[in-house]
Amino acid sequence: MSSKRILVVDDSYANARLLDVYLEPLHHEVRTASDGYEALREAASFAPDLLLLDLQLPEVDGFEVARLLKSDPRHKALRIIAVTGYSSPEHRQRAKEAGIDGYLVKPVQCADLNAAVASLI
């Protein structure tokens, strides 16, 4: 797997930091954001290849972040994986409708994260 730009979005600093610490040794360039607005700003300046996105965010939730990014031609190739505590079929359907490409339920196992990331980048 070649090095990619990955944006981790989670309102929990600990969760975001854990993913950051896990991904950086794999030679990815990782940035974090803690809310929907910050995610949109970071995506505009960083141009990530992959977004690991919590769906339950303050202000602008992850569903809306995904919709906005997927509708922007600058992010045509962006792949999004939800990393969320939401596990219901309704949430999964909403994620799909928002353009989210993969779905992981917290707590995420390393093997599941590796498989999801590898399948999308």
pLDDT of residue 1: 57
Residue 35 has pLDDT above 70, yes or no: yes
Q: What is the pTM of this model?
A: 0.94
Distance, C-alpha 121 to centroid of its chain: 13
Which of 81, 121, 74, 72 minimizes the C-alpha distance to 100? 81
Tens-digit pLDDT profile for residues 75-115: 999 999 999 999 999 999 999 999 999 999 999 998 899 89
Residue 10 vs residue 58, higher pLDDT = 10
CA–CA separation, 9 vs 31, rounded Å? 9
Alpha helices, H only, the chain:
13-23, 36-46, 62-70, 89-97, 110-120
pLDDT of residue 6: 96
Tell me which CATH homologous superfamily contains domain 5-120: Response regulator (3.40.50.2300)
Q: Are 78 and 49 in contact (CB under 8 A)?
A: yes
Domain residue limits, the chain: 5-120
